[in-house]
Amino acid sequence: MREVTLGEAIRNFSQLIDAAEGGETIVVIKNGKPAAKITPLARDRRSDYAWKTAFAALSESLSAKRATGYRVGKIEEDDNYGPV
């Protein structure tokens, strides 16, 4: 993991993005403290921890809601246009 100052990040942003695409993580320092992290994106979002966490929360939220609406069977030709 590499650390760069904010000014260096501004001047060399495209190189930092290239490094992140190559798998490197960069921490941007502002006023002596970490302010941001540039990380590579997961190739498959299912392996991304943040995505998995958000997806699990969404799934849990949806499963807690009661089902609404009316379920129908297979739609036949008569259902679309009435008896012919």
36 CB-side CA count, 13 A: 11
Q: What is the per-residue pLDDT across 39-68, written as a single tens digit (0 to 9) for each?
A: 988 777 777 888 889 999 998 888 887 766
DSSP 11: H
Give CA–CA dist 27/78, Å, rounded.
Answer: 63
Domains and CATH numbers, the chain: 2-64 (3.40.1620.10)
Please state, rounded to an integer, the average pLDDT across all residues of the chain.
Answer: 85
Instruction: Flag whether pLDDT at 29 surpasses 90.
Output: yes
Between 72 and 7, name the one with better pLDDT.
7
Whether residue 23 is predicted with pLDDT greater than 80 in this model: the reply is yes
Q: Which residues contact 82 (CB under 8 A, 6 or more apart)?
A: none
- pLDDT confidence of residue 43: 76
